[in-house]
A = this chain, B = another copy of it.
Amino acid sequence: MEQKKLKLADLAKLAGVSTSTASRALNNNPVIKQQTREHVQLLAKKYNFSLNTAASRLRLQKTNVIAVIINLDAHTEQSIDDPFLLKVVSDINQAVNRRGYELLLSNSYMAGDDWHGYFIDGRRADGLIVVGQGKQQQNIDTAAKNGAPLVVWGDPKTPSNYPIVGSNNYVGGYQATMHLLEQGASKLLFLGDSGHAEIGERYRGFNNALEAHQPKGVAKLLKIDITSQAAYTAINNLLRGEGLNFDGIVACSDMVALGALKALKERYVSVPNDVRIVGFDDIAMADISHPSLSSVKQNTREAAKLLVDKLLNQLNGEECMSQEVEIELVCRQSSQ
């Protein structure tokens, strides 16, 4: 079954043309007679011919590959297993494919610190999509400075020399908070690390909504890691220490919200009657949780498309800007 791999020269011989004609025919170069083109293409299909991408890449100095780097914060327990991150990667994968590129899934383990050298100079990929500003802004800056075509998923408001695509986190935080206030909550808890760029924006929205609403609510910030476990522990400790002194929670992610929800339910605090909750991300679990979780939906699909578009535009030498993607508050049982 395992026959020798056909190379372009072999195919050309079979078709009775030169390699150059065969090459042009396969690439549908209109300079070649229609009939010749079809003839070669037919033979290629018949013999399951595939171009050797290694040779082609060497010749063209182009890989048709985009590398996606998962770039988590150094001091977080949040892992690559996080459902939201994986959703982002999956959406990027689709967007990349749709533009005819392949996706090299990567992380700092393989790439080390010199991303430009590893991916671009090393001809592993034509461009980089970095998911998360987190761990090493340094690496991103350096790669961009060295001329790596590069886009980042993160907080678009962060000043940068490269395009950042992400949600309008400020509006997300604002809307979630305003919604809770309008539902009658007044003692609000923000759950998340406000030092993180995207979460900081959400927190700003949270505070501004509290400012804007009458009557004024009371705010409290619980700086925790972006994990269910951290939220669960934090809420448990808070209830044990101070009792129930809040009636609304804005969580920085759905996983965090669900961790909080679990702690509340275990202590027989009713959601949404005693405490209303809104999460962030609108992961699949938000809908399946009981009570179902209200959440600020991030449009990862559109963001992925934008990331890829901007990256390909860079490859064409165009300048690109950061861009915010609009969010949408999805109201479910946990907040009303």
Interface positions of A (Cβ within 8 A of B): 1-2, 5-6, 48-55, 57-58, 61, 63, 65, 68, 80-81, 83, 86-87, 89-90, 93-94, 97, 102-107, 109-110, 114, 116-118, 121-124, 145-147, 228, 232, 255, 258-259, 261-262, 265-266, 284-285, 287-290, 292
Contact = CB atoms under 8 A, between A and B. Distances in A.
A102 B110 contact: yes
Given A48-B114, A53-B122, A265-B290, A1 B106 contact: no
Total identical chains: 2
Nearest to A264: B290
B1 A50 contact: no
A39 to B, nearest CB: 19
B48 A284 contact: no
Contact of A117 (B50, B90, B255, B262): B50
A288 B286 CA distance: 12
Contact of A266 (B65, B106, B290): B290
A118 B50 contact: yes
A58 B58 CA distance: 8
A144 to B, nearest CB: 9
Contacts of A52: 58, 121-123
Nearest to A228: B288
Contacts of A118: 50
Nearest to A231: B288
Contact of A50 (B81, B104, B122, B261): B122
A104 B107 contact: no
A166 to B, nearest CB: 19
Contacts of A50: 114, 117-118, 121-122
A259 B284 contact: no
Contacts of A117: 48-50
Nearest to A258: B288
B80 A90 contact: yes
Given A1-B145, A146-B1, A258-B285, A103 B102 contact: no
